[in-house]
Structure 1
């Protein structure tokens, strides 16, 4: 395994961006617009409408079509199979409180957890049996900057709740890692729903952690990897790589060869990318959803405007 040498910086900028995103983008000015009864039928690009905060949908084959907007309002949104998750900050709560809504295939609420923090990332395992989230939380005494991240999991079938994976035993270069400032964020699941990846941040560094959910243990496999997103074939991870102060470059890591490929998107992307297939990566940037080839070729292509937090139904 390569020696882990790159540095972790800029988490405070992430928090500021997340808070600004949450507060400034939750408008109610379009409440009079028609409301659609959306489902998780295949072939859709779903996203968070920036002007309204509502979950919208367009055909994946025709993303320029006029979107249908549901009544559901979220700050982050994700889907897989017949399960969706919506993270919605409760307005006017200080410190922030977020509702984690587990949804069925008609976007009806199956389960709700109310947790401290501001929405950051959300994912559903490819089998639809587990949902995950990342929240920014202020006031943790061990964090010198006054905040931390909390990444949690919920089992849809059993109802088991893991409020935080901070106690996950992780091995770095073969040794069990211990630190009081450990933070996790950006969980992504393998097709089997058991293997998952996440970012571990500690002592000024970030690591890509590969973990086994059933055994509840993990290992660091790469440094300077944030917000991983596993490809449908389970062989590659799209991620944001720190290249400067508050600047991230979208890249793809081949897990077997450890070869990195920078994608054609040269702007800084602060998002957890999404794979609609094994050849393309989607992401939110500048209040729009974009697509770029996963092999480093081509150029970014705008799919939907006034949109964020893309999700695709298969």
Structure 2
């Protein structure tokens, strides 16, 4: 092949690659535009400040189509259907209490996927970031704002999968001391010290004393409710099985959780456990809820369910915590609720 012909082939190849690249970019832009395209009845979302120290508001991750999708937003607790204000902080999972927020982020880096936990102040300014070992799953902040916890999937993508692996971490925001893996804590199960290669913890919820927490331990094909101590690095079984993603009530007496139902079409049902009597009360939500419920007050819990007709979005629903009433739509196109 002559030098002139080689040059011609090179030029044609470059032009073809450029055309393909442009096509891919335009296709991606078209898909993004479809994702952000507004729908009839979509909520009104405006850019603005979201203060975690504001009272009588609900913060959440906005999933309404548009430029503010996945941003932390807030609405008045008394008018959850009102126009929402969205900050610029984008999260896959979020929670907040007493002016401390935790935002779990998942995105594509130059070479691979990058996952991180961002701990924020009341104005959603970053105070500290931590690299995550996997895909974001659960996030919680203690009532005082001094302790932050998160769970990620290290292997698998769903709690409904036959095999999955999690890692749960706790950090003290006063010292930034990180407990990177609850599996390193001393485990007491049914009165005996316990350790197995399939130990998995997920779904931390904190008590008001800045030490006690509850979490799910999955091992040997079973799930157990565990009570832990951050200071002593211990976790002890409470005596109740089939408890996942616990959430402690504001008064510290009850735990909302999802219970795996073997029969019927649903996979998990929402229950409330009385910690004094261990009595379990089924809630009036009959759909399968794969979420860590959040208490709006001592009488009501909230959780996310897939938005009808849009698998990329969820809606927030609420239900009375005593088993009465019925589930009702709380906030459309939203997830990760936190009552401020």
Answer whether TM exceeds 0.5 for this pair. Answer: yes
Question: Which one of 247, 261, 273 corresponds to residue 293 of structure 2?
Answer: 273
Aligned pair 1:224/2:236, yes or no? no
Instruction: Please name the residue that 2:273 is paired with.
Output: 253
1:52-71 paired onto structure 2 within 5 Å? 52-71=69-88
Distance, in Å, in 2 between the alignment partners of 1:310 and 1:254 is 23
Given that 1:80 and 1:128 are in contact with CA atoms closer than 8 Å, whether structure 2 keeps it comes out as yes
Distance, in Å, in 1 between the alignment partners of 2:205 and 2:78 is 25
CA RMSD of superposed structures (Å) = 2.2
Secondary structure of 1:71's counterpart equals strand
Given that 2:46 and 2:84 are in contact with CA atoms closer than 8 Å, whether structure 1 keeps it comes out as no
Instruction: Please name the residue that 1:235 is paired with.
Output: 253
Deviation at 1:138, TM superposition (A): 2.5
Q: TM-score, normalised by structure 1?
A: 0.85
Instruction: Please name the residue that 1:311 is paired with.
Output: 338
Secondary structure of 1:234's counterpart equals coil
Distance, in Å, in 2 between the alignment partners of 1:29 and 1:72 is 17
Instruction: Please name the residue that 1:43 is paired with.
Output: 56
Aligned pair 1:290/2:290, yes or no? no
Q: Would you tell me which structure has more helix in proportion to its own residues?
A: 2
Deviation at 1:46, TM superposition (A): 1.0
Aligned pair 1:165/2:165, yes or no? no
Distance, in Å, in 1 between the alignment partners of 2:315 and 2:134 is 25
Which structure would you say has the larger Rg?
A: 2
Q: TM-score, normalised by structure 2?
A: 0.79
Distance, in Å, in 2 between the alignment partners of 1:125 and 1:306 is 26
Query: Is the alpha carbon distance of 1:204 and 1:210 closer, same or farther for their aligned partners in structure 2, counting shifts above 3 Å?
Result: same
Query: Is the alpha carbon distance of 1:116 and 1:96 closer, same or farther for their aligned partners in structure 2, counting shifts above 3 Å?
Result: farther
Deviation at 1:70, TM superposition (A): 1.1
Listed as ranges, the gaps of 5+ residues in structure 1 are 1-23
1:4-23 paired onto structure 2 within 5 Å? none
Deviation at 1:277, TM superposition (A): 1.2
Given that 2:142 and 2:205 are in contact with CA atoms closer than 8 Å, whether structure 1 keeps it comes out as yes
1:122-141 paired onto structure 2 within 5 Å? 122-138=139-155
Aligned pair 1:264/2:284, yes or no? yes
Instruction: Please name the residue that 1:188 is paired with.
Output: 205
Residues 93-102 or 243-252, more deviating? 93-102
Secondary structure of 2:183's counterpart equals coil
Secondary structure of 1:116's counterpart equals coil
Deviation at 1:69, TM superposition (A): 1.2
Instruction: Please name the residue that 2:17 is paired with.
Output: none
Distance, in Å, in 2 between the alignment partners of 1:282 and 1:70 is 22
Distance, in Å, in 1 between the alignment partners of 2:225 and 2:130 is 27
